[in-house]
Structure 1
Amino acid sequence: MTIHTKITISKVYHYTHNTSLYRSFFFAVFLILIVTTFVGLSRLRISIGDESSKFKKIALVNIRGLPEFRLEGNGVPLPRNPECTHWDCFNIYRCGRTGHDRIAVYVYPPMKYVDDEGFSATELMSREYLALLQAVVNSKYYTANPHEACIFIPSIDTLNQERLRPNLTSRALHSLPFWNNGENHLIFNMVSGTAPDFSPLIELETGKALIAGADFDRYSFRINFDVSIPLYSPVAALGENNQNIHRKRSWLVTSSQLNLDIYYLGVLQKLSYQYSESLLIVDACHNHNYTKRCKENSNEKFSYPALLQDSTFCLIFRGERMGQFVLLEAMAADCIPVVVMDGAVLPFNNVIDWKRAAVFIMENYLHTLMDVLGKISPKRVRQMRETVRFLYNSYFSSVDKITITTLDIIQDRVYPHWSRIYDDWNLRPEEKNTNPLFLPLTAPKSHGFTAVILTYDRVDSLFTLIDRLSRVPSLMKVIVVWNNQKKSPPPLSSFPQIQKPVKVIRTSANKLSNRFYPYNEIETEAILHIDDDIVMLTADEVEFGYEVWREFPDRIVGFPSRTHRWDNVTTSWKYESEWTNEISMVLTGAAFLHKYWSFLYTTAMPANVRDWVDEHMNCEDIAMNFLVANTTNKPPIKVTPRKKFKCPECVNNEMLSADLGHMIERSQCVDRFAKAFGRMPLKSVEFRADPVLFKDPFPEKLKRFNDIGSL
């Protein structure tokens, strides 16, 4: 039976024709939307760029000729909210507008705030507050654009309450354009309250503002909101100890604080009768000079704070205010603080473990002072002294460091996933975990290593090296980093035909740091970094080097070694290439490293170090030694006795290290990198690893590694 269709051919044709029209229509609409969106985004980007260009970095120069701002009588400032926490008074949504995980801090332009009668809210800006603002402006946190700011810092000097008019200053704060009841504003204060009450809080109407203060007690401090800072002492630097930190000191404990409470003074006087050779009590001399102290009941004078360098422990008492100059003065002299202040909130207490650096004695138990200190072992004293110096140099030695540490703490609150852990804040570099790799004690042999060869255009030497490396049993892959952008590498068909894969990676710029890039093609834990002219190593030497690295996977293990020394004439660090009994560096022209170090070099190496290396085409191997030693606090390991590493096929002018200027630059590198890392991390050692039975008179068939060069 035949079934006739109900749709004629002509109708089918018109139907398909209409469908194509619809498709064309929607496609045109889609194109219009894309073009409109693109134009809109372009205009938005241009407008944002124009908007950003309006804001310029403030200049903190002429603080005497500031423009006046007359305070009007409108608006009532709200008092400080004592219940504030990070979660209800801090607007987290103001942060993150800059496109990176870092707080942006805006500093208001300095102005002179006056009332209707011309009276100023504050005195002339202090030197300390000017340094504080300058530290913020020069920091990585600063932004000139208030619309992208996460934290706002007034340019009103609130460090010392005695130098301001609280009512006028509160009105000045309230007049700030982004004040909003103090939300996300940071107020710095080191001297709070006035006589006779001496409040632990600055007596301003601060609303929801964060307070970075030096006089907090446990009742006034808002945990995880406020920041406790130290009372900065301008004279602390005069007492900084540049001598041997562990030298013997004349006094066990010293009390040097002025205007001591009569109760504390009475207890100390009783103790001094029994411990006159261990306890020193000094006070102001008759003609008062802060840099002089006189022994109690005596005319014997001492220079202060240098006096504290001769004492093991220094007493810190509660005064009219909690914050005391003597805390930083003692720490600068490497004197261990003995804190006798019940309820005190020590500086940066939410990140610093003060029990590692200070002794705490309750006020009512001051009479046990000498018994408590006498029970502290010499080893513990040494550790505490070193911690005191570390904390002072890291966080307290200048207004700049106090300011930046305060911002670092707020940064960790806002971005906890990037925050520093306990070890980062409290442990000296030599105390930190010495193996960041979390590897087995001995790396598996079966994994083998990848040879990464940095080359430019020495093709013959490169091919010779690849051929020799192919004889090393543990080699898994060869990666050639071609650092020449003007010339193409030879085709793989012209490379030596070996049983292991060879990969050529062309770089976009001729940089020495390219050798340490963590390429995806590196699949093994171990990397043999080697220059294209190191063709003299035998297969036995390379295999033995890998075996040693398996035992020490967190170290640099290699062949050419160097050392460093201090030059007393130039007062700088020097690079030493002479053959000595000590080594402190193994050059990465032929060395095994864990691939973790390539990642760390690329992501965590100080930018000024990496940029200097690439600009001068020198010292990338020294930089890597600094990086590894700074992290592990361990020296490298030299293997085999070979010391000569000259390319037999190369003429002297082809070798980068043949230039005398090259050696001078390397000394400059060592000194420059020590400053960049903040210390000299390189460790010297008189150690070299050689194969068992290396020189024993045994038949060669009993030795595993026979082909080991002598020099």
Structure 2
Amino acid sequence: MSGYTMLRNGGLGNGGQPWMLRWSSRIRLSWLSFTLFIILVFFPLIAHYYLTTIDDANDPDRRIFGPRTGNELCEVKHVQDLCRIRESVSEELLQLEAKRQELNSEIAKLNLKIEACKKSIENAKQDLLQLKNVISQTEHSYKELMAQNQPKLSLPIRLLPEKDDINIPLPKSKRNCGLHNCFDYSRCPLTSGFPVFVYNSDQYPFGNFIDPLIKQALEASVRNNVYVTENANNACIYVVLMGEMQEPVMPKPTELEEQLHSLPYWRTDGHNHLIINLSRKSETQNYLYNVSTGRAMIAQSTFYDLQYRPGFDIVVSPLVHAMSEPNFLEIPPQVPVKRKYLFSFQGEKIESLRSSLQEARSFEEEMEGNAPADYDDRIITTLKAVQDSKLDFVMVEFTCKNQAKPSLPTEWALCGERDDRLELLKQSTFALIITPGDSQLVISAGSAMRLFEALEVGAIPVILGEQVQLPYHDTIRWNEAVLILPKPRITEVHFLLRSISDNDLLSLRRQGRFLWETYFSTSDTVFNTILATVRTRIQIPAAPIKEEPAVEIPHRSGKAAGTDPNMADNGDLDLGPVETEPPYASPKYLRNFTLTAADIYRNWNTAPGPFHLFPHTPFDPLLPSEAKFLGSGTGFRPIGGGAGGSGKEFQAALGGNVPREQFTVVMLTYEREEVLMNSLERLNGLPYLNKVVVVWNSPKLPSEDLLWPDIGVPIVIVRTEKNSLNNRFLPWDQIETEAVLSIDDDAHLRHDEIMFGFRVWREARDRIVGFPGRYHAWDIPHRSWLYNSNYSCELSMVLTGAAFFHKYYAYLYSYVMPQAIRDMVDEYINCEDIAMNFLVSHITRKPPIKVTSRWTFRCPGCPQALSHDDSHFHERHKCINFFVKVYGYMPLLYTQFRVDSVLFKTRLPHDKTKCFKFI
């Protein structure tokens, strides 16, 4: 209001009172309140001070003993009322404070109840979600079961043949004998297991004439063979062992024929019989040429065209070694690829030689003037010209310095002793093999011996004569290890051999080494190969490979697994279904017959060969993506039902190109119970975990009062026969999944790291997928290999102390890999992880896959491991160089990348979540 208006109204404000009076009254009330406040607060103090001062001045005792107390002050008449007011206010304040504390306590209790209710609601929601997932999984599995057209397969039930034989119509000619008309399939059902009965050669006259070394070697192989049975009535085939015979006393053809026909299970025509005639020398003994063998199959290294029945008889190699395993230290390395001589050949052609008068007479009658074109003279002239030109170092000799060993007519005899020939071949890149000029000779022992010696020392065979039938030619792809050329191309041989690159040369040499080692190197491999040839022809699956029986150690469990404070916080993103997926074993033996019928050449021409039936392999074929939605969706769990998605959909399904599966943790330990318990607890709640197999490597059993943690999946403690690091890779029968996570008992991995590694492995099932990478480095001064554990931008190994691999490699490591490697692991108590990396790289010719940036995986505070000792690295240097000698080359391959998760560093919208937050 303006001043003019106030003056006109007589200075009146609201209510009709003068505004000056109103403000003065307010001031008076304020002063009264302030005065009262001063009196109530400060008067007792002033009075206390005044009275104390007066009393102290008049009373010397006060000056001595101190001022008056509050109670004495209240006795003063003038302040009694004020003291009563103060005590009343203090009492009320204490009561109010007690009520406040009581209310706060009740509020805290209510807050705890609220938090408990919230947690209970969240648990109930989680349980409901889990139940929904279980119901969904069950419904999905039920639909898959109802829609599945083929039954679930496992190891086939063994069906044995009947005792009675089925009459088979006789072929018009013995030359027309084949499996379809000379073999009784009724004795060999698909699920029979291929039982083989082997005659005891000591019980028959011809057995007395067999070379004792061959006889002894074959009998030892028979004892160790899984197919051999003593029950002849249930046998699929009957094996007659023969070999080199001493010519002065060997039986005549008619006598040998009579002895064969008198065998108890010959049954008039010898069907389902297999006569194995082996030689260990280059001299050819084809004494079955004029012997009627009926419907019996013949396996030997020398055949004439009129004698050989393709697809029925078997061309084999000579039996040179009877050892149980080759001496790998005597085999020359495969590198350097090119050797001193480009090629070599030593031999002498002796036209007048004859194996026997009877054989020569039959040979001349069959030829009757049909002499083939002989290119041997042109070969001699051309090779001498190459040697004289000195464009390359070559070694060719056509006259033996020593007496040439006898052979068949038109065949080149071997020169010198075996050791001398091997020394020359060790210096030769290629080894020429000139086939006999007689076109009627399918294969000869001399040519087979040359082939055997060339493969043994890594000289690539070059066979001149395309008509030759090499051993097991109907299953082995010889063009991957041998060059086979027509003799008319002799003038182009030099040009051809010079044009082959080092990569192709090493590929040929490595494949030749595989064929020699797998099929020809020992008596066991020769015998097993002959049986495998027959079994493959009649399409019977191989015997299942051995499972290592697990001797379990009883233990008590029930200790609640705690939460590891070092685990990364995954926020609102789960890593997979927790406690919702029941244990699910990987299907086994789904390809029992396709491996034998459809994958013949792959089985025979890649390691480990056709001798075992595996429950599953990492090389099984994959379905195309649309098949999982159109008729073949059994077991598949595509992300988002096929629509895809980011983190939320990613956590709900495994996705990928193969059906759902789980993995097994295999943990090796030795007397470190506390460390082991901590590591097991860290696995609590890990998704897709099927089982934990603890390999107890100590002779001392666990403490009886040890309480093992309950992590939601079975924990199996396996007792071992001895303390060996090889036990880490034994194919325990308790491992029911294809995926194996090998982990040390002191390894410290987060759940998200494990899950990421598992998902990566599912896309690279044939590789080792893991975390700590290592490197094989070249020691320049010493021209050898070193083990390198430094941080590197290039790696070639992933340590199996924290890595995924396929159980298939556990079988190969334990039962197929050379025993010399496992022996060295036991000797040093070291290097088992290097050995596994060598094996997988040798099989796949691929490097391992490293995931995440982690380089170490040891837990903090754990006891010091053996790897901290300096001797540990010296032993690993020695291991690498020894393993290279065993394999003949360095199989490890370098890689310069690692695998990180999709969408890890990608910026996503607010409504999306990453697949992995920390990887």
TM-score, with length taken from structure 1 = 0.62
Superposed displacement of residue 637, structure 1 = 3.3
CA offset at residue 707 of structure 1?
A: 6.5
Q: 2:358 maps to what in 1?
A: none
Q: 1:588 to 1:287 in 2, by over 3 A?
A: closer
Give the structure 2 partner of residue 413 of structure 1.
537
- Tell me which amino acid in the other structure corresponds to 1:207: G
Q: Which residue of 2 aligns with 1:254?
A: 345
Cα separation, partners in 2 of 1:610 and 1:307, compared to 1, 3 Å:
closer
> What residue number does 2:307 align with?
220
- The letter for the 1-side match of 2:403 is H
Cα deviation per residue 1:682-709 (whole Å; 9 max; x = unaligned)? 626465638699xx9x9xx9x998968x
Residue in structure 1 matched with residue 60 of structure 2 by the alignment:
none
Amino acid at match of 2:604: W
SS at match of 1:344: coil
Per the TM alignment, residue 356 of structure 1 is displaced from its structure 2 partner at its CA by: 2.7
Question: Are 2:713 and 1:504 aligned?
Answer: yes
Once the two structures are superposed, what CA deviation does each residue of 1:299-340 show, in whole Å capped at 9, x if it has no partner? Answer: x99953533443524032215654024333343343333434
Task: Please state whether the residue corresponding to 2:202 is helix, strand or coil.
Answer: coil
Aligned to 2:424: 307
TM-aligned CA deviation for residue 133 of structure 1: 3.8
1:264 to 375, 380, 397: 375
Q: Contact 2:195/2:237 (CA < 8 Å) preserved in 1?
A: yes
Residue 633 (structure 1) shift: 3.2
Q: Distance in 1 between matches of 2:499 and 2:184?
A: 49
- Cα separation, partners in 2 of 1:610 and 1:399, compared to 1, 3 Å: closer
| 1:424 lines up with 2:424 in the alignment | no
The structural deviation recorded for 1:347 is 1.4
Q: Is the 8 A contact 1:189 1:212 kept in 2?
A: yes
Query: Of residues 161, 185, 191 in structure 1, which corresponds to 2:273?
Result: 185
Unaligned runs of 5+ in 2: 1-170, 353-372, 407-411, 543-595, 610-616, 626-637, 640-649, 655-660, 696-700, 721-726
Change (3 A) 1:174 1:706: closer
The residue that corresponds to 1:23 in the other structure is: none
Residues 8-40 of structure 1, C-alpha deviations (whole Å, 9 max, x = no match): xxxxxxxxxxxxxxxxxxxxxxxxxxxxxxxxx
Structure 1 residue 225 displacement after superposition: 1.5
* Distance apart, 1:230 and its partner CA: 2.9
1:175 corresponds, among 258, 262, 266, to 262
Q: CA deviation at 1:425?
A: 1.8
2:291 to 190, 199, 204: 204
Change (3 A) 1:79 1:510: same
Contact 2:481 2:511 in 1 (8 A): yes
Deviation larger for 145-154 or 176-185 = 145-154
AA aligned opposite 1:246:
V
Distance, in Å, in 2 between the alignment partners of 1:285 and 1:233 is 22
Deviations 1:115-149 (A, max 9, x none): xxxxx897463533543343333333333443443
Residues 536-577 of structure 1: CA deviation (Å, up to 9, x unaligned): x4567557656765775543333345567999xxxx999x69
Q: 1:618 to 1:340 in 2, by over 3 A?
A: closer
Change (3 A) 1:547 1:425: closer
Within-5 A mapping of 1:209-608: 209-231=296-318, 241=332, 244=335, 246-252=337-343, 254=345, 256-259=347-350, 263-272=374-383, 274-275=385-386, 276-277=388-389, 281-285=396-400, 287-288=402-403, 303-308=420-425, 309-310=427-428, 312-318=430-436, 322-323=443-444, 324=446, 325-341=449-465, 343-363=467-487, 369-370=493-494, 379-418=503-542, 419=596, 421-427=600-606, 436=619, 445-446=650-651, 447-448=653-654, 475=687, 503-507=712-716, 509-510=718-719, 530=743, 533-535=746-748, 537=749, 545=757, 552=764, 554-561=766-773, 579=790, 581=792, 584-593=796-805, 597-598=806-807, 600=808, 606-607=814-815
The residue identity in structure 1 corresponding to 2:290 is E
Query: What amino acid maps onto 1:436 in structure 2?
Result: F
The code of the aligned residue for 2:473 comes to: N
- For 2:736 and 2:495, the matched residues in 1 are separated by 64
Q: Structure 1, unaligned stretches of length 5 or more?
A: 1-77, 114-119, 496-501
SS at match of 2:519: helix
**Equivalent pair of 2:769/2:848 in contact (CA under 8 Å):** yes
Give the letter for the 1:104 counterpart.
V
Q: CA deviation at 1:409?
A: 0.7
Alpha-carbon offset, residue 391 of structure 1: 2.4
Aligned-pair CA distance for 1:531: 5.4
Instruction: Write the distance in 2 (CA, Å) between the matches of 1:644 and 1:676.
Output: 30
1:664–1:689: structure 2 CA closer, same or farther, 3 Å change rule? closer
User: Is contact 1:182-1:206 (8 Å) kept?
Assistant: yes
Q: Is contact 2:196–2:239 with CA below 8 Å preserved after alignment? A: no
Deviation (angstroms), 1:411: 2.2
In the alignment, which residue of structure 1 is the partner of 2:86?
Answer: none
Equivalent residue pairs, number: 579
Per-residue CA deviation, residues 163-190 of structure 1 (Å, 9 max, x unaligned), is 5421221222223222223232222336
Kindly indicate whether the alpha-carbon contact (under 8 Å) linking 2:675 and 2:745 is maintained by their aligned counterparts in 1. Answer: no
User: Match for 1:87 among 162, 173, 180?
Assistant: 180
Question: Are the equivalent residues in 2 in contact too, given 1:462–1:533 (CA < 8 A)?
Answer: no
Contact 2:193 2:227 in 1 (8 A): no
TM superposition shift of 1:244? 3.5
Maintained 8 Å contact 1:169/1:204: yes
Instruction: Assess if the C-alpha contact under 8 Å between 1:201 and 1:216 holds in 2.
Output: no
Residues 367-399 of structure 1: per-residue CA shift (max 9 Å, x gap): 665566566566544433333333233323345
Do 1:217 and 1:344's aligned partners in 2 also have CA atoms closer than 8 Å?
no
User: Cα distance, 1:424 vs. partner?
Assistant: 2.5
Larger radius of gyration: 2
In structure 2, distance between residues paired with 1:123 and 1:521:
51
* Paired residues of 2:337 and 2:502 also in contact (CA < 8 A): no
Residue in structure 1 matching 2:898, options 689, 695, 707: 689
Q: Over residues 469-493 of structure 1, what are the superposed CA-to-partner deviations in whole Å (9 max), with x where a residue is unaligned?
A: 76x9xx566855577987699699x
